[in-house]
Amino acid sequence: MKNILFSAMPMDEGKSGISNYIFNVLGEMLKENNVTVAALGRDMHLLEKRFPKAKFIVVADRFASPLRNMLWHLFIFPFTIRRSSYDFIFLPAANRRVICISPLFSIGTVHDFSQLHIKGKYDLFRTFYVEKLIPFFLHRLSAVVSVSESTKKDIVSHCGIADDKVTVLYNGYDRSLCNLSFPSDPTATRNKFAFGQEYILYISRIEHPGKNHLNLIKAYERLPASIIEKYALVLAGSDWTGAEKVHEYAKASPLANRIVFTGFVASEDLPHLYRGASLYVFPSFFEGFGIPLIEAMACGAPCACSNCSSLAEIAGSAAMTFDPANPDEISAAIGKILENQALSAELSSKGKERVSIFSWEKHVKGILDIYDSRTKKK
């Protein structure tokens, strides 16, 4: 049993991939370890009931703004840590929050350096912080976890971190969530979200340009009329940076009445939404991993995704891939799957097999193994 100090600061109020990662890794670590969690006061309602075994360090909400939170991590957090209290520090989003000095063994997970691949993703200050300061301070960590080989390449090449200091540990998925039985009447889920027919699904925060909603809508507009009439396009997720451009484009589309925005979807509704989909499409320009892809596979949805970054790596042969910059190619992939029941069934079957390699248990065991192996060498 280890004593771990866990920073749960970049929670995004529980509505992002990072919060998904925090919830799952923290839950797994708590099964056999003592974990003390540093969290903002505003996020305690998301953590206390869910993790009753955890101890908490509550950080004042005045440090909630991105700039203040970055500074708190860099220059306050490291100097509040009592070395004798913990075996190691774990930073679940080290591509966002790092520490200027490590008073004890430290492990940080890097999910992506998407700003290197998507022009205009962040403002000038955040671009400087992520491209210049984060790489500098990553060197202060004892070990770095990457969630994919794709991200590891960026860590090594962009940050100059030694290859043997970076360990690739794939993310897992919530098996209890994805194994929920689908309602006997699938129209119940469709009606709950105000679309009463079959649908093509994309679950991601509504963020432009990175998540590439515009090219997906353009691809949908290029589908044959017979497919458009049968399938709605459902875009699920909270509004994020640049969301207004996506909504404006969709509203002006000749198929505006066929495009559904659900907003944030609660965890308990996700498996039903996935299982009701005739196709799950993941057209993002760049992903460090892409948990919704394996969640969709686990729930039996046939999948199509971008052929770049980590998505092709994660999908293997279990999804049809396309160039996310080419709406015609996206449209062709969608049409091919929806018009070929045998292909759709094959992708669904391959997806269920593929997800067996992704596990939060394996991921957390890998983190603990890093600590054990590196500290034994000293």
Whether domain 175-357 has CATH 3.20.190.10: no
* Average pLDDT, rounded, for the chain: 91
Closest among 185, 192, 152, 176 to 295, alpha carbons compared: 176
Spell out the domain ranges in the chain.
Answer: 3-172+359-377, 175-357
For residue 17, the model assigns a pLDDT of 78
Residue found under tokens 């080419």: 326
**Range with lowest mean pLDDT among 31-45, 118-132, 139-153, 165-179:** 118-132
**CB crowding 29-44: b at 16 or more within 10 Å, else e:** bbeebbbebbbbeebe
Question: CB within 8 A of 98, min separation 6: which ones?
Answer: 73, 74, 91, 108, 133, 134, 137, 138, 140, 141
**CB crowding 357-368: b at 16 or more within 10 Å, else e:** ebbbeebbeebb
Arithmetic mean of pLDDT, 234-241: 93
For residue 28, the model assigns a pLDDT of 97
Closest among 318, 375, 253, 367 to 21, alpha carbons compared: 367
Give percent above pLDDT 90 in the chain.
77
Output the DSSP codes for 34-51.
EEEEEEEGGGHHHHTTT-
End-to-end CA distance of the chain: 20
Residues composing the chain:
378
Cα–Cα distance measured from residue 72 to residue 67, given in angstroms and rounded to the nearest whole number: 9
Tokens, residue 305: 């995704």
- To 10 degrees, what angle do helices 291-298 and 341-354 make? 110
Please compute Rg for the chain using Cα positions. Answer: 21
Q: Is 196 exposed, middle or buried (0-12, 13-18, 19+ CB in 10 A)?
A: exposed
Strand partners, 235: 202, 261
Q: What are the backbone angles phi and psi of residue 20, rounded to the nearest 5°?
A: -60, -45
Tens of pLDDT, residue by residue over 200-231, are 999 999 999 999 999 999 999 999 999 999 99
Q: Indicate the CATH number for domain 3-172+359-377.
A: 3.40.50.2000
Contact 176, 271 (CB under 8 A): no
Predicted TM-score of the model (pTM): 0.88
Domains 3-172+359-377 and 175-357 share a fold: yes
- Amino acid code (one letter) for 337: I
Quickly state the pLDDT bin for 271 (edges 50, 70, 90): confident
Q: Are strands 198-203 and 279-282 parallel, antiparallel or unpaired?
A: parallel
Contact 117, 209 (CB under 8 A): no
Task: Compare 120 and 21 and report the one with higher pLDDT.
Answer: 21
Output the DSSP codes for 279-299.
EEEE--S--SS-HHHHHHHHT
Tens of pLDDT, residue by residue over 34-69, are 999 999 999 999 999 999 999 999 999 999 998 899
Tens of pLDDT, residue by residue over 296-344, are 999 999 999 999 999 999 999 999 999 999 999 999 999 999 999 999 9
Quickly state the pLDDT bin for 186 (edges 50, 70, 90): low
